[in-house]
A and B are shown apart, each in its own frame.
Chain A
Amino acid sequence: MIAPQNIHKTFGGNRVLQGVDLVVDQGASMVIIGGSGTGKSVLLKCILGLEQPDKGEVLIDGQNITNQNRADMLGRFGMLFQSAALFDSLTIWQNVAFRLLRGRQKRPRTEARDIAISKLRRVGLSEKVADLYPAELSGGMQKRVGLARAIAADPDIIFFDEPTTGLDPIMAGVINDLIREIVTEIGATTITITHDMSSVRAIADHVAMLHHGRVQWCGSVDTLDQAQDPFVDQFINGRSEGPIETVR
């Protein structure tokens, strides 16, 4: 279970998070939606300790997060960054196999490479890209490599930050199916950020909508369409008229 509680985060005068509460159960798939710039990525970074929240705490399996249990959590964790964040001094397969080449899960290079190539296949990339460098790939391909890296060591907890942004509709469908598969097969606990409603419907068990630094609405994906919330209604139907201001 991952539960950020009352998270506040301000950058300069920009009050990004103003008391976010969320509970993600073990093995559940939580999808966070919300306009761009509402602090979805910042929330993930606060959970991971990459940003220090000004106020509030994160519970992991019911316990307050400390350096020790955060390190334990990261040991069985994978993340796809919004910008992919591939290491540009390493080749594609070395990026994917990063965790398999060092640390606790270290194994022989040939074995790590084989695993990397099989993960690349799962995200729709052929063996041909394995020895290229990230700069030689398109943005959408980099994103998929980032996804392969996130799942390379079969983590229990995975965060996906906009997994389908920048992909064509077919590839987006492939990635949605893959994420769904990971959630159901491995039983991983996942948090996914997306603007893509087809992703939401394909991936989510639960949906939380972030607005004005808080969770505006949270519920099961089945109840999303019946939600009596004008913010959710405007967002999922993509209307320009509504309570969410379009100039931000």
Chain B
Amino acid sequence: MTPLAALGRTVLGLLASIGRLTLFFGETLGHMIRPPFYLREFGHALFSIGWLSLPVVGLTAIFTGGALALQIYAGGARFNAEAVVPQIVAIGIVRELGPVLVGLMIAARVTSSIAAEIATMKVTEQIDALITLSTNPMKYLTVPRVLAAFLVVPLLVAVGDVIGILGGYIVGTGTLGFNPSTYIRSTVDFLEWSDMRSSLIKGAAFGTIAATMGCYFGLTSGRGAQGVGRATKSSVATAAVLILAANFLLTSLLFAA
């Protein structure tokens, strides 16, 4: 095969995948607005995606905030701008690092577990059993998870933002010699509503991507243990790449001009 043909094949394959994912997402939205709704499954998804992700989100955010403060201090020192640490930490966390890192941690934690669970259900005929029990797997499995992630990941991002800034604060006041009340006032005065809004919008988008990828790859899993392994791997890789791509797109849309 010539390199050109290989490239063409890859691009076509990619386009076909994007088409399938888009159709799947459209189908999910269609089921979201038509009953029946499975509230118990929705509650369960809220709990496992939201509440159980808190430790991972908190730890990721606090270390990142701390490291960011150290870097900005060191970088700022090169042109006597050490004082901007609170502001840059705040904007860096709220606009970019908070949503992206929470999104990636959700891809690692939530996408993988959704994909593995649903793929296992598929290979053990549990999805077939659902259908024979007059239960639509899209409504019963996909809709509750996607909706829960859409609603709860923005909250996780908000928590991550606060803890990330806290990480910067701890390092800033603890080792870099900032005055605690000045640090807090600089942060609060500096942040704008639009920064926070972008954080929440990104969270909602990333949560939706993460849960949708888990469900898609789970429901389309191949047979056997190998099928489950492949589904899980592909779901996490795809979710992570799509989250980073969506982040670029949203950043350029939300902060244009």
Contacts and interface: CB of A to CB of B under 8 A. Distances in A.
Given A102-B38, A103-B36, A74 B128 contact: no
A60 to B, nearest CB: 15
B126 A50 contact: no
A65 B128 CA distance: 18
Contacts of A86: 126, 129
Contacts of A79: 129, 132
Contacts of B257: none
A99 B129 contact: no
A50 B99 CA distance: 40
B128 A102 contact: no
Contacts of A85: 124-126, 128-129
Contact of A99 (B121, B124, B128, B133): B133
A103 B131 contact: no
B134 interface: yes
A187 interface: no
B134 A81 contact: no
A21 B128 CA distance: 23
Interface string B127-152: 01111111100000000000000000
Contacts of A77: 132, 134
Interface in A44-102: 45, 48, 50, 71, 74-75, 77-79, 81-83, 85-89, 98-99, 102
Contact of A48 (B126, B132, B135): B132
A243 B117 CA distance: 44
Given A102-B36, A102-B38, A103-B36, A48 B125 contact: no
B126 A87 contact: yes
Nearest to A70: B131
A48 B131 contact: yes
* Interface bin, chain A: 20 to 34
A74 B132 contact: yes
Nearest to B131: A50
Contacts of B133: 74, 98-99, 149
Contact of A74 (B36, B124, B134): B134
A83 B36 contact: no
Contacts of A98: 133, 135
A104 to B, nearest CB: 8
Contact of B124 (A50, A71, A83): A83
Interface string B14-54: 00000000000000000000001010000000000000000
B109 to A, nearest CB: 18
25 contacts: A45-B128, A48-B131, A50-B131, A74-B131, A74-B133, A75-B134, A77-B134, A78-B132, A79-B129, A81-B125, A81-B129, A82-B125, A83-B124, A85-B124, A85-B126, A85-B129, A87-B121, A87-B129, A87-B130, A98-B133, A99-B134, A102-B36, A102-B38, A104-B134, A149-B133
Interface of A: 45, 48, 50, 71, 74-75, 77-79, 81-83, 85-89, 98-99, 102-104, 149
Given A87-B129, A104-B134, 15 more contacts: A50-B128, A50-B132, A71-B134, A74-B133, A78-B132, A79-B129, A85-B124, A85-B125, A85-B126, A86-B126, A86-B129, A88-B126, A102-B36, A102-B38, A102-B135
Query: A-B pairs with the 3 shortest C-beta distances?
Result: A85-B125, A85-B129, A79-B132
